[in-house]
Amino acid sequence: MAKTVLKEKRIVKKCMFLITVAVLGIALFSQELTHETLVINIEVPVRVFKGEKFVEDLTIDDFEVFEDGKLQKIEAVYLIKKTSIEKGEGEKKFSPNVSRNFVLLFQVQDYLPKIETALEYFFNNVIMPGDALTVFTPMKTYNFKTKALEILPKEETVKQLKAKIRKDTLMGNSEYKHLLREIQEQVAGVDEVSIQACQLLLNRLEELRRVDENSLLGFAEFLKAKEGQKYVFLFYQKELLPQLDPSTLMQRQSLAQDQQYFLFQLSDLFLHYRRDIAFDVDRIKQVFSDSSISIHFLYITKAPILSVEGMQPSPVTWREQSEDIFSAFREMARATGGLTDSSSNAASAFQRVVDASENYYLIYYAPANYKRDGNFRNIDVKVRNKNYRVTHRAGYFAN
């Protein structure tokens, strides 16, 4: 009898073990199945132009979306004007967040009067109740909360902002002009000490103009955390770099033989001085695209005023060196679906770009066979009319 009871207990334990294993197996299989059938919706702001005019009569059937070269099924398309959803169509219904976060970023060496005109246009014609604004100057960051923008009169906000940008630009440029004065004074020495001094001064000049990769990545993360649509308008002024004209220096003073040797070294130092792109452009493009930020690049072609009061004529002259950073920022704008404009008039360039950016389509699609592998997925949006110009973000990270 005891043996029979013991045997039954062993059978019960064995059955319980098998049931437990089966339950765990079902749970694990369910988790795996859930992971494999994970549904995620991708939102893509798209702007379509015919010439310079936004095309606003497109339907869902006019669009095609490809991810890594594979055609995707579009779930819905919405036409957005400013913060208003004008129309929507598709099998699924979404609730687009059309709140707007504006960022004005001034990377300029001079305070340009046309910046004031641009600010007036922005506050009088663009920004609306519910919008948020962040302004980056060469010195500080200013956050304008939504409620503050609604309470404070626009005229007063514009007045305060003009004063802050003017002050910060002048302060931010003061070290730059100081370096200019020091370089010109050191060049006149034409000896070993002047060469070493110029090397240090040129390195410091390089640091001032450097665009740091970590800062860009942090900026992207800062904006990614914000809800709604994100617009960055980057005002970037033409950049000049120093160059040495040895003949001018030789005409001003007679040089000893050893000074002529140092002049050769000094000339070589300036000849090889250039600003290198200090960030991975492709990486930055992907990160900003993933953050769903529209970067609009405004290249101000008006050369900065580099003369300093009381400064004597110098063999140091200035050459334009903007093609490298221009290409990098233009590619960043393109990768985020943003626009690029070049002009000596900051106000007109800003008006053209901001007007073109306010209307767009929001396309939603669920990627087929989506997997969270952390890889970057390339997006390509096409419309049936091949003559249209289409801008949109380049893709996203599957995280």
Residues 369 and 327 in one domain: no
Tokens of 124: 């009088």
Residue 233 pLDDT: 97
User: Please, which pLDDT band fits residue 19 given cuts at 50, 70 and 90?
Assistant: very low
Residue 336 predicted with pLDDT over 80: yes
Tell me, yes or no, whether 177 lies in a domain.
yes
Q: What is the pLDDT of residue 255?
A: 65
- Classify 150 in phi/psi space as left (phi over 0), alpha (psi -120 to 50) or beta: alpha
pLDDT tens digit string along 63-90?
999 999 999 999 999 999 999 999 999 9
Residue type, 36: E
User: Quick one: pLDDT at residue 313?
Assistant: 60
Same-domain pairing of 59 and 134:
no
Check whether 212 has a pLDDT greater than 50: yes
Within-domain flag for 181? yes
Residues 181, 206 share a domain: yes
The one-letter code for the residue type at 2 is A
**388 and 294 housed in the same domain:** no
Which DSSP string corresponds to 172-202? HHHHHHHHHHHHHHHHTT-SHHHHHHHHHHH
Bridge partners (DSSP) of residue 76 are: 90, 364
Does residue 35 sit within a domain?
A: no
Residue percentage of the chain with pLDDT more than 90: 49
Side chain identity, residue 123: F
Contact 80, 210 (CB under 8 A): no
- CATH number at 168 reads 3.40.50
- Residue 311's pLDDT band, with cuts at 50, 70 and 90, is low
Q: Please, which pLDDT band fits residue 307 given cuts at 50, 70 and 90?
A: low
SS3 content of the chain, % helix, strand, coil (to 5): 45, 25, 30
Q: What is the pLDDT of residue 161?
A: 93
What is the pLDDT of the chain when averaged over all its residues? 84
- Whether 345 is in a domain gets the answer yes
Same domain, 137 and 243: yes
Residue range 134-179, pLDDT digits in tens? 999 988 999 987 777 778 788 889 999 999 999 999 888 888 778 8
User: What is the domain extent for residue 68?
Assistant: 42-82+363-397
| 190 and 56 share one domain | no
Q: Which of 190-199, 278-287, 360-369 has the highest mean pLDDT?
A: 360-369
Confidence check: pLDDT of 193 > 60: yes
Total domain count, the chain: 2
User: pLDDT at position 213, please?
Assistant: 85
At 7, which amino acid appears?
A: K
Whether residues 371 and 346 share a domain: the answer is no
**CA distances to 10, 17, 22, 23, 28 from 31, in Å:** 32, 21, 14, 12, 5
Let me know whether 117 and 255 are in one domain: yes
Is 135 found in the same domain as 52? Answer: no
> Token match 């606003």: residue?
56
User: In this structure, are 294 and 377 located in the same domain?
Assistant: no
Residue 295 lies in a domain: yes
Same domain, 253 and 328: yes
Average pLDDT, integer, range 50-58: 94
Co-location of 347 and 373 in the same domain: no
